[in-house]
Structure 1
Amino acid sequence: MCPAPVPAERDVDPAESPASWPGTTGRSSLYSRRSAILTTGAAALGLLTALVVVLVSSGSGGSHRLHRESAAPLPWPSEGQTSVLVEGLGDRGDLGTKGTQTPVPIASVTKVMTAYVILRDHPLHRSEPGPDITVDRTAANEPVAGAESTVPVREGQRLSERRLLELMLIPSGNNIARLLARWDAGSQEAFVTKMNRAADRLGMDRTTYTEPSGVAPTTVSTSGDQLKLARHAMRDEAFRHIVALTSTTVPGVSGRIPNTNTLLGTSGVIGVKTGSSTPAGGALMWGAVMPDGQGHEHLVLGVVLHQRADSSPQEGLQAALETSGSLVKGVRKWLSGQVPSADGPGAPDQRAVTRP
């Protein structure tokens, strides 16, 4: 069953899409005309060389790894790009990537990196509120713009680090993301430098962050890069707990604010973050806990990007939720036939999953 329509995050709808990222291609071939034997030999050598290139590219070198587009019989989306991984199954857990890994706008999925940097600089235990942060005039005035997803806060209001992380990740408050960035680094520009340094450390070499909320289409990434971030972010207990919440509250505002991720609580889904804008289309980084054929639970992570790009943010987000919901069910079916195996040397054992 498809999830009910949900409100989009209302990221800014720029008039222009980000610049394309053209690749470079080119080949040169030398053909001998001396004999048919030499011609055949050259062709064979060319095939052997191509095979070597593929094997080298598929090594553990990171972004140039050969992605298996049909490693598992999953209902992959027909558009955009998607990556899926099951922790605790070693190489079998890499279920592959669908779609060309060309950097595309990721909208509010950007906030996962914002939260990752904040929690690295200011760690929280599962239930710890953390320090109080004063809402500045900029954050208080931004909701009146109405052109993007924001959360109503008052100048001088003091909210805990945890509450602000909730307001950033659950209703996807862009003004809260920028407030946290200024609090952490002194300026949004300095914080963006931290974001890109963190991406470099994680091997996200096809990712560029230009601001902390995801509102700018110049923040681009790939599903494979965002999957690397998902693995690290979900190791943080406070982050896991926050992204699993179905709603939160704003002091001084009546009622509860729902999470934009309507897959929460279905098929074991425990997070993570939605994103939507016209250039980005719909995007979703998702996490779920699923059993294998022996009853061992595994953390499964997936990233779906660029669904219905250049349509309305609402249509894009709905598409991302629908395709991700189908993927989650497909992975559950695939995993039910698998038996556990240890990850490689030095890799964390994720079979004993800690639930939020």
Structure 2
Amino acid sequence: MLKLHLFLTFLLIASLVPAIAHAKRLFRPAVQAHAAIVVDMTTGRTLYSKHADERRPIASLTKLLTAMVVLDSRRSLIKPLRVTDDDVDRLKWSRSRLPVRSLLLRSTLLHIALMSSENRAAFALSRDYPGGRPGFVRAMNRTAKRLHMSRSHFVDPTGLSPHNVSTARDLTRLVRAAYRYPVIRRYSTAHEKLVLGGDGPLMYRNTDPLVHRASWHVGLQKTGFTNEAGHCLIIVTSVRGHPVLIVLLGDPDAQAHFQDAVDLRRWLVASHP
């Protein structure tokens, strides 16, 4: 009788294992970011959201829009541009490796603005625009309006200002548009860039360690941080051959946004066969 009872108990446990495993796969990850959204890039379907419509500062995620405005101007990327004192950050006095008086191609400035969030490069590109930096910012807001980013507003090309605001959902509209630009995809996902034209050679590296993970097939990315915005991340990755966009805003520390992205992708792989 005891053996029969043990056998029946074993059968019961065995029958529950698949259900438990399935439940674990469906369990939504505990994302640390204040706001987040995950969207299937092919269908536009939202797969995960958290405070996705809450307006927040977005820090250097701004530079994806900056890159679009630069490229939409159709000005030559092989034109040299000199960094001036007007490109120094006087709002937060953020550090820059790019010396004043550096002479670089506009393509190089765009590259390190996207890949390494070089603020001085973004400032220089915005200054070298018809109508100067004010004209550039107006173009940013026009582009945002065209993309139906109705809860977004921009006052500078870098994201240093806390008045550059958006929502996780609005940013999906920005990314879907930016993803159509091969230059933005290429520069934002490059691993490193050797820069000449300042006091000496400078090696810039990507601020996002996830681009080095071959299995992620990262198609576009951007990181960002200010005290007001917290740690932010946009990344387009591949899940079972489908491009998926992850937006994270307001993570609490320097690794949390990357861990959130890892947890979300792991959950997607498990729960969306």
**Global fold match (TM > 0.5):** yes
Counterpart residue number, 2:93:
147
TM-score, normalized by length of structure 2? 0.81
Tell me if the contact between 1:151 and 1:176 (Cα under 8 Å) persists in the aligned partners: no
Instruction: Name the CA shift for 1:79/1:301 in 2 (closer, same or farther; >3 Å).
Output: closer
Instruction: Name the CA shift for 1:136/1:256 in 2 (closer, same or farther; >3 Å).
Output: closer
Counterpart residue number, 1:66:
none
Instruction: Name the CA shift for 1:199/1:73 in 2 (closer, same or farther; >3 Å).
Output: farther
**Structure 2 gaps, min length 5:** 1-25
Counterpart residue number, 1:306:
250
Instruction: Name the CA shift for 1:228/1:289 in 2 (closer, same or farther; >3 Å).
Output: same
Tell me if the contact between 2:147 and 2:174 (Cα under 8 Å) persists in the aligned partners: yes
Residue identity in the other structure for 1:243: S
Partners of 1:208 and 1:96 in 2: how far apart?
Answer: 24
Tell me if the contact between 2:54 and 2:168 (Cα under 8 Å) persists in the aligned partners: no
After superposition, give the CA deviation of every residue in 1:46-79 in whole Å (9 maximum; x if it has no partner): xxxxxxxxxxxxxxxxxxxxxxxxxx75425144
Matches within 5 A, 1:172-187: 172-187=117-132
Residue identity in the other structure for 1:234: Y
Secondary structure at the counterpart of residue 160 of structure 2: coil
1:134 paired to 2:81: yes
Residue identity in the other structure for 1:304: L
Counterpart residue number, 1:82:
36
**Structure 1 gaps, min length 5:** 1-71, 124-128, 292-296, 309-314, 338-356
Counterpart residue number, 1:119:
71
After superposition, give the CA deviation of every residue in 1:302-321 in whole Å (9 maximum; x if it has no partner): 1100112xxxxxx2x32212
- Report deviation, 1:287: 1.0
Identity within the alignment, %: 27
Secondary structure at the counterpart of residue 264 of structure 1: helix
Partners of 2:51 and 2:96 in 1: how far apart?
Answer: 32
After superposition, give the CA deviation of every residue in 1:262-295 in whole Å (9 maximum; x if it has no partner): 111324134310001111111001111232xxxx
Structure with more of its chain in strand, by fraction: 2
- Report deviation, 1:87: 2.4
- Report deviation, 1:148: 1.0
Residue identity in the other structure for 1:326: D
TM-score, normalized by length of structure 1? 0.63
Residue identity in the other structure for 2:237: A
Matches within 5 A, 1:189-228: 189-228=134-173
- Report deviation, 1:332: 2.9
Matches within 5 A, 1:223-234: 223-234=168-179
- Report deviation, 1:144: 10
- Report deviation, 1:184: 2.0
Residue identity in the other structure for 1:209: F
Secondary structure at the counterpart of residue 97 of structure 1: strand
Partners of 1:219 and 1:146 in 2: how far apart?
Answer: 14
Secondary structure at the counterpart of residue 249 of structure 1: strand
Instruction: Name the CA shift for 1:77/1:254 in 2 (closer, same or farther; >3 Å).
Output: same
Counterpart residue number, 1:289:
238
Moved over 6 A (4+): 143-146
Counterpart residue number, 1:333:
270
* Among 211, 222, 228, the residue aligned to 1:264: 211
* Among 182, 207, 225, the residue aligned to 1:276: 225
* Among 87, 97, 101, the residue aligned to 2:53: 101
Partners of 2:153 and 2:39 in 1: how far apart?
Answer: 23
Secondary structure at the counterpart of residue 285 of structure 1: strand
Residue identity in the other structure for 2:223: T
Secondary structure at the counterpart of residue 302 of structure 1: strand
After superposition, give the CA deviation of every residue in 1:187-210 in whole Å (9 maximum; x if it has no partner): 211111110110000010000101
Tell me if the contact between 2:179 and 2:220 (Cα under 8 Å) persists in the aligned partners: no
Partners of 2:264 and 2:71 in 1: how far apart?
Answer: 29
